[in-house]
Amino acid sequence: MLGNVKDKVAVITGAASGIGKHMAERFAESGAHVVIADLNLEQANVVAEELTAKFGVSALGVQMDVTSEEQVNAGIDAAFTKFGKIDVLVSNAGIQTIAPIVEFEFAAWKRLIDIHLHGTFLTAKAAMKKMIEQGTGGSVIVTGSIHSVEASKNKSAYVAAKHAQLGFVRAIAKEGAPHNIRANLIGPGFVRTPLVDKQIPEQAKTLGISEEDVVKKIMLGETVDGEFTTLDDVANAALFLAGLETNVLTGQSMLLTHGWHMQ
Ligand code: NAD
């Protein structure tokens, strides 16, 4: 059942920073060829060059705004042209916006849903077409969140989008199975990345509490041990799912939350 990712081709969106970047590093370290797809092309190219130099694998940076069908298709085409296949898609690009529902700007709501939900749809659609064309199928992994199964205050758009991603993963599992395509969601609790570091002062301001209390009570308050999920925890889960050779796990959510959610 367990395989590995050596010589597999993995497209990772939002891989110029945070969780996606760390996943790309761990995939490259394990012998996979990686496509760093990000809004920020300059940084994507820096990461791709670093990985090639460090691990001797082929890495490609591509400009991809996941909300643009044109850029998504162009990026997936560029990856397919370079490597001749796409074995793994990690739909990971994301943002966060903190505001109570009654003050949530509609434009900000739409932007967040666009990136997380429509971006996951567009990248999965393009990658699945290639996985079907190449005849070998593949693995779609979506970086969801604890918020794919739980709600928090002041994150309504994020909670809605992350729940929707889980529904979409289940739909891919059904439609992908005849083509040997599996799909699963990884749901981290809080991981220290730029996305989270930005939230700490914002949450403190919105909730009128100290930054220390945001970390202790809001971010880690529901965990069993008060611990952050680490970048390695998330990358290891992605590597495990990417290496699976069968559909034994498909349509599943793997929650990496230190017991915040138990299923
Ligand atoms: P991050 O801000 O460090 O990185 C996000 C990356 O996505 C950046 O490189 C950014 O340029 C890119 N990006 C943003 N909008 C994009 C777009 N439209 N098209 C392409 N790329 C775009 O964030 P992170 O913490 O690494 O988050 C990555 C994913 O993990 C997100 O989906 C997030 O919701 C999820 N997540 C994060 C945490 C956490 O605690 N950090 C927890 C659970 C889930």
| pLDDT tens per residue across span 77-110 | 999 999 999 999 999 999 999 999 999 999 999 9
Measured from the CB, is residue 13 less than 6 Å from ligand 1?
yes
Q: How confident is the model at residue 256 (pLDDT cuts 50, 70, 90)?
A: very high
CA distance linking residue 10 with residue 151, whole number of Å:
31
CA distance linking residue 256 with residue 88, whole number of Å:
20
> CB-based contacts of 53: which residues, under 8 Å, 6+ apart?
none
Distances (CA, A) of 160 to 30, 117, 145, 151: 34, 9, 11, 9
Measured from the CB, is residue 75 less than 6 Å from ligand 1?
no
Taking the centre of ligand 1 as the mean of its atom positions, its distance from the CA of residue 216, in whole angstroms, is: 22
Q: Does residue 1 have a pLDDT over 50? A: no
Taking the centre of ligand 1 as the mean of its atom positions, its distance from the CA of residue 94, in whole angstroms, is: 4
How much is the pTM? 0.97
- State residue 60's pLDDT score: 98
CA distance linking residue 182 with residue 70, whole number of Å:
25
Q: Which of 11, 12, 17 to mutate to test the pocket of ligand 1 (most atoms within 8 A of CB)?
A: 17
Angle at 222 between CA 217 and CA 226, to 5 degrees: 70
**14: helix, strand or coil:** coil
Cβ distance 52 to 46 under 8 Å?
no
Instruction: Tell me the percentage of the chain whose pLDDT exceeds 70.
Output: 99
**186: helix, strand or coil:** strand
Which residues are identified as catalytic? 158
Taking the centre of ligand 1 as the mean of its atom positions, its distance from the CA of residue 237, in whole angstroms, is: 17
DSSP characters over 204-245: HHHHTS-HHHIIIIIISTTSSS--PPPHHHHHHHHHHHHHB-
Closest ligand 1 atom, residue 96 Cα: 34
Q: How many CB atoms lie within 10 A of CB 24?
A: 32
Look at ligand 1, atom 34, and give the residue with the nearest C-alpha.
Answer: 94
Mean pLDDT of 147-166: 97
- State residue 206's pLDDT score: 87
CA distance linking residue 46 with residue 36, whole number of Å:
10
Measured from the CB, is residue 148 less than 6 Å from ligand 1?
no
Write down all domains in the chain, each with its CATH number in brackets: 9-189+234-256 (3.40.50.720)
- State residue 245's pLDDT score: 87
Measured from the CB, is residue 38 less than 6 Å from ligand 1?
yes
- State residue 2's pLDDT score: 56
Angle at 239 between CA 30 and CA 250, to 5 degrees: 150
